[in-house]
């Protein structure tokens, strides 16, 4: 049997049950943005790790080493943000082809350092090894949160509003521009920057998780179409998403017009935006959104709501049924 017949999640489901009985009380393992480890009566630790492989996650001649350093930290911090946590420390394991220039690695580490400074996350260890062909970068971040306050994917409730913290589809458009070597107009440059140097929404995640009415939360690494079903399965509910409410940047709208892109599909299914996706009790939404607006000078975007029934998304466009087609990112 080949791996592509079961996919990434089929593979995970094959071994996950073998380890579940080894979890100690209060620990949660595979299946959320971070694992949760109880520490004491007040605190829990959050652990996440992500691997970036040359040729799979990045093209060495398309992203600068500095940007690659930023991205490898940001995608991990985004998982800490998704739980409402605060980062404590980072670990870096890296496999390097032996013909790599030291100056390239210096720039990579400068990128990692800039994010470490921004979020006060020390690099505390890791491993360095030779790679026979491609560069591979694995970052692990440990964070913490108040006991019982971590937001998990299984916390959504029927009737919750589904909200996102910022514009969607920019990163997918940036990738498209990189792959097709589009001329770097200001709009295209902004989209490529979103793809290469995403911002982890640490402060946003901390604010959102301070409100009891914010239920489930995760970060958008693969896009709403692929990521929201994780919340729906874990919470045992369904969702209706109104695509006309998906927040789309001016840059994406203008580039989509110029290049004939379908920006609704990009916003619904494009990956690597690293915005937060959360579900909020309707009665709490105004207070949460007011605080969000006064802290971050932007509003939450409400894109739909949680329903009962099967764990799938019903897509609407201005109330009419919308066929998104077969989209979303899949490994293997
Ligand atoms: Mg995640």
SS (H, E, C) the chain: CCHHHCHHHHHHHHHHHHHHCCCCCCCECECECCEEEECCCCEEEEEEEEEEEECCCECCCCCCHHHHHHHHHHHHHHHHHHCCCEEEEEEEEEEEECCCCHHHHHHHHHHHHHHHHHCCCCEEEEEEEEECCCCEEEEEEEEEEECCCCCCHHHCCCCCEEEECCCCCHHHHHHHHHHCCCCCCHHHHHHHHHHHCCCCCHHHHHHHHCCCCEEEEEECCCCHHHHHHHHHHHHCCEEEEEHHHCCCCHHHHHHHHHHCCCHHHHHHHCCCCCCEEEEECHHHHHHHHHHHHHHHCCCCEEEEEEECCCCCEEEEECCEECCCCCCCCCCC
pLDDT recorded at residue 26: 87
pLDDT recorded at residue 327: 59
Residue 236, Cβ neighbours under 10 Å: how many?
Answer: 13
Q: Does position 199 have pLDDT exceeding 70, yes or no?
A: yes
C-alpha closest to that of 49 among 20, 15, 91: 91
pLDDT band at residue 73 using 50, 70 and 90 as cut-offs: very high
Q: How far is CA 217 from the centre of its chain?
A: 11
pLDDT recorded at residue 25: 86
Whole-number Å distance, alpha carbon 82 to ligand 1 midpoint, is: 7
Whole-number Å distance, alpha carbon 83 to ligand 1 midpoint, is: 9
Whole-number Å distance, alpha carbon 305 to ligand 1 midpoint, is: 20
Kindly report, residue by residue over 283-316, the tens digit of the pLDDT: 999 999 999 999 999 999 999 999 999 999 999 9
Q: State which fold the 153-321 domain adopts.
A: Phosphoribosyl-aminoimidazole Synthetase; Chain A, domain 2 (3.90.650)
pLDDT recorded at residue 323: 86
C-alpha closest to that of 121 among 74, 159, 162: 74
pLDDT recorded at residue 9: 87
pLDDT band at residue 207 using 50, 70 and 90 as cut-offs: very high
Give the C-alpha separation, 26 to 37, whole Å. Answer: 7
Residue 42, Cβ neighbours under 10 Å: how many?
Answer: 9
C-alpha closest to that of 149 among 220, 210, 74: 210
**What CATH number was assigned to the domain covering residues 22-146?**
3.30.1330.10
And the tokens for 63? 């992203």
Assess contact for 156 and 282: CB atoms under 8 A.
no
Whole-number Å distance, alpha carbon 79 to ligand 1 midpoint, is: 5
Q: Does position 324 have pLDDT exceeding 90, yes or no?
A: no
Kindly report, residue by residue over 259-292, the tens digit of the pLDDT: 999 999 999 999 999 999 999 999 999 999 999 9
Whole-number Å distance, alpha carbon 183 to ligand 1 midpoint, is: 32
Whole-number Å distance, alpha carbon 248 to ligand 1 midpoint, is: 21
Whole-number Å distance, alpha carbon 23 to ligand 1 midpoint, is: 21
Taking all residues of the chain, what is their mean pLDDT, rounded to a whole number?
A: 95
Count of residues in the chain: 332
Give the C-alpha separation, 269 to 315, whole Å. Answer: 12
Find the mean pLDDT for residues 161-185.
Answer: 95
Whole-number Å distance, alpha carbon 264 to ligand 1 midpoint, is: 22
Whole-number Å distance, alpha carbon 284 to ligand 1 midpoint, is: 25
Domain boundaries defined on the chain: 22-146, 153-321
pTM equals: 0.95
And the tokens for 306? 């949680």
pLDDT recorded at residue 307: 98
pLDDT recorded at residue 58: 93
Kindly report, residue by residue over 5-61, the tens digit of the pLDDT: 999 889 999 999 999 999 988 899 898 999 999 999 999 999 999 999 999 999 999
Assess contact for 306 and 158: CB atoms under 8 A.
yes
Pairing of strands 238-242, 313-317: parallel
Burial of residue 286, with CB atoms counted within 10 A of its CB: 0-12 exposed, 13-18 middle, 19 or more buried: exposed
Give the C-alpha separation, 227 to 246, whole Å. Answer: 15
Whole-number Å distance, alpha carbon 96 to ligand 1 midpoint, is: 26
């Amino acid at each position: 049997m080949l791996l592509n017949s079961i996919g990434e999640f089929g593979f995970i489901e094959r071994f996950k049950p073998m380890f579940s009985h080894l979890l100690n009380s209060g620990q949660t393992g595979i299946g959320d943005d971070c694992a949760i480890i109880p520490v004491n009566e007040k605190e829990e630790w959050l652990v996440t790790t992500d691997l970036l492989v040359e040729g799979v996650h990045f093209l060495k001649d398309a992203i600068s080493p500095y940007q690659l350093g930023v991205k490898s930290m940001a995608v991990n911090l985004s998982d800490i943000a998704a739980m409402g946590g605060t980062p404590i420390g980072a670990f870096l394991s890296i496999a390097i082809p032996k013909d790599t220039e030291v100056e390239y690695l210096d720039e990579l580490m400068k990128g990692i350092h800039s994010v470490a400074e921004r979020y006060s996350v020390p690099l505390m260890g890791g491993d360095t090894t030779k790679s026979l062909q491609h560069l591979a970068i694995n970052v692990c971040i440990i964070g913490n949160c108040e006991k019982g306050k971590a937001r998990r994917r299984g916390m959504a409730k029927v009737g919750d509003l589904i909200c996102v913290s910022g514009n969607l589809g920019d990163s997918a458009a940036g990738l498209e521009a990189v792959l097709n070597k589009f001329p770097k107009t200001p709009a295209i440059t902004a989209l490529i920057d979103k793809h290469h140097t995403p911002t982890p929404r640490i402060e946003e995640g901390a604010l959102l998780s301070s409100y009891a009415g914010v239920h489930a939360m995760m970060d958008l690494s693969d896009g709403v179409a692929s990521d929201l079903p994780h919340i729906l399965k874990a919470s045992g509910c369904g969702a209706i998403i109104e695509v006309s409410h998906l927040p789309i940047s001016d840059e994406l709208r203008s580039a989509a017009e110029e290049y004939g892109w379908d920006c609704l599909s990009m916003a619904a299914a494009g990956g690597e935006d690293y915005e937060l996706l959360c579900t909020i009790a309707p009665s709490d939404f105004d207070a949460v959104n007011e605080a969000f607006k006064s802290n971050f000078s932007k509003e939450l975007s409400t894109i739909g709501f949680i329903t009962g029934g099967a764990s799938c998304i019903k897509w609407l466009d201005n109330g009419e049924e919308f066929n998104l087609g077969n989209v979303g990112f899949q490994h293997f």
